[in-house]
Structure 1
């Protein structure tokens, strides 16, 4: 979608459709009164007939006449002003896309709010609405044949500011949303790629392409380098597949010599469960088990496009978990990069094994904090459903910061405890620890396992198993990969600058 920001009068804007957001207590705003007058009272009649009241996501389409340059006026309800949040505006953007698609419109104009609503800054509101528009318009159709019956994607958006002095700020907000959404869309695309395409080498090549585009440093460790580093846990998971493993390391330097934030993302490009084979039902969805890694790559891209004044290290251990004659077996013992031995009781608990080595590798960068993201446990879906990620870690301040960033970005997370008692479930009789702690508190014991390898720095773990993938689309989140975490992390990094 091409987006232009211009200055002009709403009633003189020639467009197939002019879109406005309307709060329930702003039905008599000056612009709406002008539109109502130009349409001979059509809006007043619709409100009197209770066809439109401005309730959240309610819509009203009015057709223009000779007094209006716009062919149509589409009003999107926002609810009561006191209840409007940035998430309200993202959903309004998604509602806009759905309405336009139903009418097969590909070109439209939108007038952002020109004054704060419920204390929200105008730039933030504009950015949130554009996020909703762009992300709702996303489709993964690289492998589909063209179909004229399919609703077309949006081609052109004109953002109209009626006051000249607002144009520069609106332009800034729109470009920020575009850069942020680039990262989310990259993450979605990578998650949605099929398993026959998405090898660890493919993931490394995508990282190298990102680095070349926006000026990141990229290092890719192959099997020989991983053996030299002693990454026995990662290599143990990888040994069942003919596809070679990789450890992807990206650097973004936006803050001189400051200590970096390290982002670590699980990159299991396909997870069959290994010898502990998963059920066949929905195994096709296990192409998304690298969503944590995709989020890290998307965040690195967005941070570079936004020119955030921070230093970042992105680390993605990329493997495929397959059953074969060379695969690890339940009962095998692996030696991690940290030197700790791990009794593997379930080969389907592989994500924590590759993250153990990645978290150890992160220590060499002297990070000020480390955040890992992983589709780690089905237990997280049981606990929180598909509405929030679980967040755990060793620093309550960092966990609270992530929760606040989640509320603002619309990518919520909820803290679970990580008490010492949970680590008792991981004690092994034959090794330093085992890779599962039994059925009770599965999300927590998985984090407790990771904590063994994250003791030397401030650390948070995000279990995104329930939020990284949707079977059915909703709002601005499509079916398939959601790109969850990119907007959350960018919001967290931005807040850390204040």
Structure 2
């Protein structure tokens, strides 16, 4: 699978002569907006040739400080200016700068003509390293679009180069860090966006292993024979209805000097039809995104390694395709999971928790200091939190604090949900150690998390349910593209950074 196509990114102290579009910010109230980051040389030349400053011209065409609002105007020398609203606050947070950079770059890309890519400069606040990294990330993420793999004549990128205006020495490190993160996030997006006839357990595993070939990461793939020998009953059951059999990907990053060990688990159902509990047709269309958790943890592992964080990572991606056939598992089947726990299957469309349980049980044998799993697990979490916020459920308050702080630092929205003590009673079974589903419709996200918790032992564990924000069915917004978003990658990396010390 080809790597996502992204423009180059560099820093420059001045605007230069080859820039086609420059992005600047607008801050303040509706009554008193002001431009932020206007290049002095461009403003001077424009005032001299046009007789009005860039600020005056921008306000004349409706430039606004409203978040994400853009306006376009022409300056001297044929340079076009895109203004993007930064809000009323005197200082703009890194998350808002990331969003604004994505908005600005996308608006600038829309100005390309006759398949000619444009060179875009961003004159947004980059004085602090966190600001610079956020602007760089937002600009690159905003430039991402999925290139259909079946197009015979794919449209070239609308962007040839991105330039951050500022001190080149101080910007080099934030840009380098941003490029690592963006490569990981966009790779996750690329996997999520790939049609399921092209991305299935074997091809996904092969692609993940190939992507790690030049990283300091060891990759191992267990095929269906190895899974059967190892007793991975959950993965085998879920994937048993498809001719494209399941895989378990295990990645290991072990840097010298690591003082902590983090296990990452990702749900990788490459297509979820619901199995014998078949989904309605309309609900099935976007189910190529049901492997977003696996894409997240694989991509995060690569970013952690490329950043050189001093923390050991063991990553498991459970890959299966959930289809109905005469070899499918059934409601009321009893499955023997990795490690011996027996589970009565309640619903074949509650498959994610089964493939995750096998990997969680296996990860415990690695004796990690903490476990984080990521999954598009429940529609109930979407009902609870909407489509833009992920849920966090955990058995450890300290780890929860790490995750929520990391999400805030990463500019991703997660919210803590409980696992109420009463929920466990719903998992009682008369024929097995556990039942995979609850007895009530309400609280489905908690029930799924309570089931997963049964497989982590005493290990500190956090479950990230990204069923809502993993896939955007609408258009792009800010640094988020349409389709796969790559949500969770930055949060997991920031958790690793905090645990690494």
Residue 487 (str. 1) matches residue 495 (str. 2): no
> Which residue is equivalent to 2:460?
458
Deviation of 1:50 after TM superposition, in Å, equals: 8.0
Structure 2: stretches of 5+ with no match in the other structure: 1-5
Residue 219 of structure 1 aligns to a residue whose secondary structure is: strand
> Following TM superposition, by how much is the alpha carbon of 1:74 offset from its aligned partner in structure 2, in angstroms?
3.0
1:140 corresponding residue in structure 2: 146
Secondary structure in structure 1 of the residue aligned to 2:277: coil
Q: Which runs of 5+ in 1 are unaligned?
A: 116-121
- 1:255 offset after TM fit, Å? 4.1
Contact 1:264 1:371 (8 Å CA) reproduced: yes
Q: Contact 1:237–1:354 (CA<8 Å) still a contact in 2?
A: yes
Q: Secondary structure at the match of 2:269?
A: strand
Tell me how far 1:170 sits from its aligned partner.
0.4
Cα distance in 2 for partners of 1:30, 1:200 equals: 48
Q: 1:263: how far off? A: 0.4
Q: Say whether 1:415 aligns with 2:411.
A: no
Q: Distance in 1 between matches of 2:327 and 2:36?
A: 70
- The correspondence for 2:81, drawn from 69, 73, 81, is 73
TM-score (norm. length: structure 1):
0.91
Which one of the candidate residues 46, 54, 57 is aligned to 1:39?
46
Residue from 1, 8, 16 that aligns with 1:3:
8
Offset of 1:168 from its aligned partner?
2.0
Question: 2:391 aligns to what?
Answer: 390
Structure 1 residue 76: Cα displacement? 2.6
1:285-304 to 2 correspondences below 5 Å: 285-304=286-305
Q: CA distance change for structure 1 residues 8 and 412 in 2, over 3 Å: closer, same or farther?
A: closer
Change (3 A) 1:137 1:29: closer
| 1:161-209 C-alpha deviation (Å, 9 max, x unpaired) | 2xxxx32220111111111011111111111111111121111101211
Match of 2:106 in 1: 98
Structure 1's consecutive aligned runs of 4 or more residues displaced over 6 angstroms after TM superposition are none
257 and 16 in structure 1: CA distance in 2 versus 1, 3 angstrom threshold: closer
Structure 1 residues 371 and 35 mapped into 2: Cα distance closer, same or farther (>3 Å)?
same
Q: Secondary structure at the match of 2:365?
A: helix
Superposition RMSD on alpha carbons, in Å?
Answer: 2.3
Displacement of 1:293 in angstroms is: 0.4
Deviation for aligned residue 1:272: 1.0
When the two structures are superposed, what TM-score results if normalisation uses the length of structure 2?
A: 0.90
* 1:364-443 correspondence runs (5 A): 364-437=365-438, 438-443=440-445
Counterpart residue number, 1:119 = none
Contact (CA 8 Å) 1:426, 1:433: kept in 2 or not?
yes
Q: Aligned partners of 2:450 and 2:307: how far apart in 1?
A: 34
1: CA distance, partners of 2:341 / 2:460:
20
The answer as to whether partners of 2:102 and 2:478 remain within 8 angstroms in 1 is yes
2:198 paired with 1:197:
yes
Q: CA deviation at 1:331?
A: 1.0
Shift of 1:308: 1.6
Per-residue deviation, 1:314: 0.9
Residue equivalent to 2:171? 170
Note if 1:57 corresponds to 2:72. no
Residue by residue over 1:272-306, the C-alpha shift from the partner in whole angstroms, topping out at 9 and shown as x without a partner, is: 11111111113121111111001011111211222
Q: Residue in 2 aligned with 1:153?
A: 158
CA spacing shift, 1:250–1:32, aligned 2, 3 Å: closer
- Spell out, residue by residue over 1:209-255, the C-alpha distance to the aligned partner (whole angstroms, 9 max, x if none): 12212131011112222122211222122221111211110011224
Distance across 1 between alignment mates of 2:11 and 2:40: 22
Matches of 1:353 and 1:420, distance apart in 2: 21
Tell me by how many angstroms 1:459 deviates: 0.4
Confirm whether residue 328 of structure 1 aligns to residue 335 of structure 2. Answer: no
SS in 1 for 2:313: strand
Q: 1:27 to 1:202 in 2, by over 3 A?
A: same
Q: What is the deviation of 1:144? A: 4.9
- With over 3 angstroms needed to count, the CA separation of the structure-2 counterparts of 1:7 and 1:140, relative to structure 1, is closer
In 2, the alpha carbon distance for the partners of 1:397 and 1:167 equals 38
| Distance of aligned partners of 1:399 and 1:477 in 2 relative to their CA distance in 1, 3 Å threshold | same
Instruction: Give 2:3's aligned residue.
Output: none
Give the distance between the partners of 2:54 and 2:82, measured in 1 at CA. Answer: 11
Alpha-carbon offset, residue 153 of structure 1: 2.6
Alignment CA distance shift 1:452-1:171 (3 Å): same
TM-superposed CA distance for 1:29, in Å, is 7.0
CA shift at 1:458, angstroms?
0.6
Mapped to 2, the partners of 1:251 and 1:496 lie a distance apart of 17
Alignment of 1:213-362 (within 5 A): 213-256=214-257, 258-362=259-363
Aligned pairs, number: 483
- Per-residue deviation at 1:3? 3.0
Change beyond 3 A, Cα 1:112–1:123? farther
